[in-house]
Amino acid sequence: MRKHGGLIFYIVLLGIIIWSVWTASSSRNSLEKYTINDFYADVNDEKVDKIYISQDSHVPTGEIIVYLKDGNEESFYASDVSKIQDIALEKNVTVITDEVSDSSWFFTSVFPYLCMVAVIILMFTIFIRSQSGGGGTNQKLMNFGRSRAIRKNADEVGKTFKDVAGLQEEKEELKEVVDFLKNPAKYTALGARIPKGILMEGPPGTGKTLLAKAIAGEAKVPFFSISGSDFVEMFVGVGASRVRDLFADAKAYAPCIVFIDEIDAVARRRGAGMGGGHDEREQTLNQLLVEMDGFGENSGIIVMAATNRVDILDPAIMRPGRFDRKILIGRPDVKGRQEILKVHASNKPIAEDVDLEQVARSTAGFTGADLENLMNESAIHAASENRSFINMEDIKKSFIKVGIGVEKKSRVISDREKRITAYHEAGHAILFHLLPDVGPVYTVSIIPTGQGAAGYTMPLPEKDNMFITKGMMLQEIIVSLGGRIAEELIFDDVTTGASQDIKQATGYARAMITKYGFSKNLGMVNYDNDEEEVFIGRDLAHQRSFSENTQSSIDAEIRSIVDECYDRAKTILVENMEILHACAALLLEKERIGRDEFEGLFGDVKKQTVTEINLD
């Protein structure tokens, strides 16, 4: 309907313009026929009967209509009407003056121009609307499809830190960025360097976009957003020119946030493409790097990018002055989930029987987006039963529905699985902590990672070691085995969850013997010919440069190292059984624990001093 109305308006305007141009040109034609000189001549020859002056008294100009004695009628424009009048009166010509009304003056001289301006504006808006596909009125398309970035002003972003639940540390870290955007001068005066680029890494739906928007909202600055895939086009050079445009726009609106979603689409490792390394994506990436290097330290543009695959990114984007700050955004823990649920329940009527804490407990592995979806489905379910509030039953029913989708991405885990994972990770973590040359533990988590792991224990290497010692390698093996041993000690059955650990332990043990010469029996001989083999012929041309006998001694040695480490790990864990229970319990309660909480479990238990293992 609206479109139709606009079209009719457009046609009518066009008609008016044609008419006004035509009338203007036709009156100009008659003007050319009769000039002021003709008039002087006619007056002198006494051919003029009377004249009719039509004038707007605001201006000296006017139209003169001349009635000749022979009955003809001529007209011309005079630059000074009063002169004409004087001459006519001198020669006794009748003069009729007529004040032209403002409106007719308006219609003849201003109106056509107004029409033209209106038409241009109309065409502009039609064009923009067709470009943005009828999207919301608050979306302004920059440069008509050149950069494709969507700019939202601060009040249109509509998100603040309040909308971002959990992610406390991340928000804390980003507060200075907000402050900088609010008042860049304060930082520039002190010569402080604010990061130009912030890279957010995390699984989809964990709130990366939300966080970027919230920063723009908090700082009240414009927010440019574009997806990495928008840069990647069929035609070479388009991506690069879009990047250029985007940054040109951003500079005009600084301070502002530029958010590049799915940056992996452009910033994939260079030279890995099929086209010999000179493809479109590479050009786009180069342009992005050039732009990021190009704008000054504190020019007020902060580029935020999101990805869920940091490992495939070109390392060049992480150099200083580019994306030099990295923020990891993981799946939320219980407390985080409860807070996210609260945010998404706040605008919905909830019955008293709804226990969000319990919902949070049973949704391990859910992302913020999954939880938002859960609450939304619950509202839909309640509405379908003609209820005006959401009860626990709605949430339970939706949980099954939403959970199936989530299961594909991570896994909805049972309580028993959770308990096993808690003990498994606690086993690793305790050994990391108690052994002298590994650890310390930075985080222990039993939140499913979405890449198949049920949990993880992350050490924080404190020292920058040039060499790895024999003792360290043994300790790594002990730590790797700790997960499985903890499972054995507590449960009457073991899981397949330790396969990666076992592989890692075996790998270390093999390297010790075949590469590093740590075995007395086999001496300092390299039995490892992996390096000489090109990966293509690996299985086809496997050549052993040593005898069957040696092979079996290698196998036996590997076995004995692993067995000894196993015993060692078991002894330590049995000795610290109470801590194992306490750690597992804490993990079950919080799902993710940090270094301080974890170390608090140990009281005055000392680190093990020696872990000498006899390798003979």
Interaction mask 267-286, Mg ion, x per CB under 5 A: --------------------
Output 330 or 482, the one with its CB closest to Zn ion. 482
Pairing, β 256-261 against β 223-227: parallel
Cα separation, 308 vs 203, whole angstroms: 5
Per the CB < 8 A criterion, the answer to whether 67 and 49 are in contact is yes
Candidate residues 209, 225, 398, 576; the one interacting with Mg ion per rule CB under 5 A: 209
Which residues within the stretch 57-76 sit at the binding site for ligand ADP (CB under 6 A)? Answer: none
Give residues with Cβ within 8 angstroms of 289, minimum separation 6. Answer: 316, 317, 322
Q: Of 339, 425, 476, 487, which is the active-site residue?
A: 425
Output 240 or 306, the one with its CB closest to ligand ADP. 306
End-to-end CA distance of the chain: 89
Output 129 or 361, the one with its CB closest to ligand ADP. 361
Output 227 or 514, the one with its CB closest to ligand ADP. 227
Which residues within the stretch 303-342 sit at the binding site for ligand ADP (CB under 6 A)? Answer: 306, 340
483, interface contact from ligand ADP, Mg ion, Zn ion, none, CB < 5-8 Å by kind: Zn ion
Stretch that binds ligand ADP, among 164-172, 316-324, 452-460, 508-516 (CB under 6 A): 164-172
Map tokens 């010692």 to a residue: 469
Q: How far is the CB of 137 from Zn ion (least distance, A)?
A: 53
Which residues within the stretch 210-239 sit at the binding site for ligand ADP (CB under 6 A)? Answer: 210
Q: How far is the CB of 431 from Zn ion (least distance, A)?
A: 11
Q: How far is the CB of 317 from ligand ADP (least distance, A)?
A: 18
**In the complex, which residue's CB is closest to Mg ion?**
209
Indicate the helix (H) or strand (E) that contains 373: helix 368-384
Output 381 or 424, the one with its CB closest to Zn ion. 424
Map tokens 């076992």 to a residue: 502
Cβ density class 114-140: b for 16+ within 10 Å, e for less = ebeeebeeeeeeeeebeebeeeeeeee
425 is catalytic: yes
Output 372 or 501, the one with its CB closest to Zn ion. 501
Report, in angstroms and rounded to the nearest whole number, the Rg of the chain calculated over CA atoms.
40
Interaction mask 348-367, Mg ion, x per CB under 5 A: --------------------
Candidate residues 197, 217, 228, 368; the one interacting with ligand ADP per rule CB under 6 A: 368
DSSP state of 155: H
Please provide residue 108's backbone torsions phi and psi, each rounded to the nearest 5 degrees. Answer: -85, -35
Give residues in contact with Zn ion (CB under 5 A). 483, 501
Q: How far is the CB of 366 from Mg ion (least distance, A)?
A: 16
Taking each helix axis from N to C end, the angle separating 415-434 and 470-490, rounded to the nearest 10 degrees, works out to: 150
Stretch that binds Mg ion, among 150-158, 204-212, 216-224, 242-250 (CB under 5 A): 204-212
**In the complex, which residue's CB is closest to Zn ion?**
483
Q: Is 255 in the site for ligand ADP (CB under 6 A)?
A: no
- Please, is 351 exposed, middle or buried when counting C-beta atoms within 10 Å of its C-beta (0-12, 13-18, 19+)? middle
CA distances in angstroms from 122 to 38, 128, 145, 396, 463, listed in the order given: 45, 10, 19, 53, 67
Q: How far is the CB of 585 from ligand ADP (least distance, A)?
A: 26
Count CB-CB contacts under 10 A for residue 464. Answer: 5
- Annotated catalytic sites, by residue? 425
User: Which residues are at the interface with Mg ion (CB under 5 A)?
Assistant: 209
